[in-house]
Every structure is written in C-alpha cells, then in structure tokens.
Amino acid sequence: MKENDKYTVITGASSGIGYETAKAFAKRGKNLVIVARSKEKLEKLKLDILHDNPSLDVIVKCVDLSIMSNVHHLYQELKPYQIETLINNAGFGSYESVANQNLEKIETMLRLNIEALVVLYSLFVRDYQDIQGSQLINISSAGGYIIVPTAVTYCASKFFVSTFTEGLARELQAANAKLQAKVLAPAATKTNFGNVANNIEEYNYDKSFGTYHTSKQMADFLLELHDSNEVVGAVNRESFEFELKSPLFDYAGDSKHNQNGTL
C-alpha cells in the first residue's frame, strides 16, 4: 500500500472545524473522505481542495449519521479504503435548561454525539487496532470536562465523548495496539455551533464570548494533537491556551476491585 493510497475520513466536514480540518489535511497531501448531510457544501469543499491539490482523491459521502443504519452503511462503504486517520467532528449542541429543552432536538443530538460515535469507532477499532500509524480523533469540548450552565445535556454528551475516548486510549495501550485514540476539546469556536445550539439564524460571537478561536485555529490545534503522542488536546476555557495532555479522567486500571478477567 503506497502512502498516497491512504485516506483521512472526516465527519461533519461541511462547515466549521471539520471543513478547515479537511483543508489542513489536504495541504499535507492526504486523500480524503468527507462526510456530512449537505451534498452541496461537500461538493464545494471538494472543488476548493482540488483547486489547490489536484492530485488528491476526495470522496464525498452525504450521510445523516443520527440514523444508526446509516452509520453501519457508511462504514461498509469505507471498507475499500485504507484509512489512516478517522476524525469524528459530527455533532451539535443545545443551550437550554433541562426543564425546557426540546426533546426531539435532544434525542437527535444524543444519537449523533454518542450513539453514532460509538458504533463507528467500534467498527473501526475492530479492523484497525493493529495497523501501524492509524489514529482516531474525536472532537469533544471544553464542556466535556466541565459543566456549563444551560448546556447540561450537551456537556453530558461531551463528557461521554471524552471518557469514551480516554478509556479507549487506555484500553488500546494496555493491549499494545498500534491504533491511537485521541480527543480534542475546543472552547468557544466561531462556527455555526452557536446558531444551532441557540436555535437562531444569526449568532454574534463577539457579543456572546469576546474570546474565541477560529475554525482554522482549531484545525491547527488538531494537527498538533495528531502529530503528538498525547491523548488529549484541550483549550483552557479561561486562558484559551491550547495544551497537549495525558488522559485527565481517573482510571481504575490497577484496582483490586475490578472484575476478574478470568471468568
């Protein structure tokens, strides 16, 4: 398998961090599989990438990953490609109190932020855990490590992403697997996240946050994480500095109270 036969898969690639991440990996000469719901936006991204990188192969997959059957189908469609890096950026948030949150929106959010991620990554781990150089990178949030007012359910979904990814990283390390699992935790980033989370057409990041990163900055941070041997790449929610870290959650790997593995 030649190096240029390998692919980077990015979900949620039609805008924001996913969009800029696709362009960043393209600059490194990586073939791409870009995944999102909007075919129009994906095709535009493909044209933009090929304009500057005409030798690359860019595969468009128009998929709604909040539907579990689509997740399984997508992975089957990825089977012909040698995947080097799988980046899960698909997801959205919600700023509402638990008492007032729109349950239809929340149910879709949980399916996308949690269920789709677990299914897609479980399938990938089975096939790639012994492939040298392979990586999984999940996009969590600073809200995946601290509870933010009016975003309790969203934060809980991102706590799942953070703990799942850190736990998977520990599991892979314990098994001496070649696959690496990593998690990126952005703080406020200027994307369409604020629009969707607040159910509004126009969202003013300068007014709402004052301090935030651009999608391109976050894509650059993701590349730093990708190139490192650390598991966590996190933006400090107060200083907005980006830091590479070891897993942050406690791990009971050596506890004498764990279930005996020789049942």
As a whole number, mean pLDDT of residues 11-34 equals 96
- Whether residue 183 lies inside any domain: the answer is yes
Identify the CATH number of the domain in which residue 233 sits. 3.40.50.720
What is the number of domains present in the chain? 1
Q: Mention every residue, 6+ apart, whose C-beta is less than 8 A from residue 160.
A: 113, 114, 144
Helix (H), strand (E) at residue 82: strand 82-88
User: How far apart are alpha carbons 80 and 148 in whole angstroms?
Assistant: 41
- Whether residue 255 lies inside any domain: the answer is no
Q: Which pLDDT value is given to residue 169?
A: 98
- Whether residue 149 lies inside any domain: the answer is yes
AA letter at 107: E
Give residue-wise pLDDT tens across range 148-176: 999 999 999 999 999 999 999 999 999 99
Assessment of whether the complete model's pTM goes beyond 0.85: yes
Per residue, the 3-state secondary structure of 92-118, as one string, reads CCCCCCCCCCCHHHHHHHHHHHHHHHH
Give residue-wise pLDDT tens across range 184-194: 999 988 776 66
- Whether residue 106 lies inside any domain: the answer is yes
Range of the structural domain that residue 164 is part of: 3-245
- Whether residue 62 lies inside any domain: the answer is yes
Q: Which pLDDT value is given to residue 257?
A: 86
- Whether residue 26 lies inside any domain: the answer is yes
Q: Which pLDDT value is given to residue 166?
A: 98
Q: Which pLDDT value is given to residue 1?
A: 39
Token pair in block for residue 79: 């089977």
Give residue-wise pLDDT tens across range 217-256: 999 999 999 999 999 999 998 999 999 999 999 999 888 8
Give residue-wise pLDDT tens across range 24-60: 999 999 999 999 999 999 999 999 999 999 999 999 9
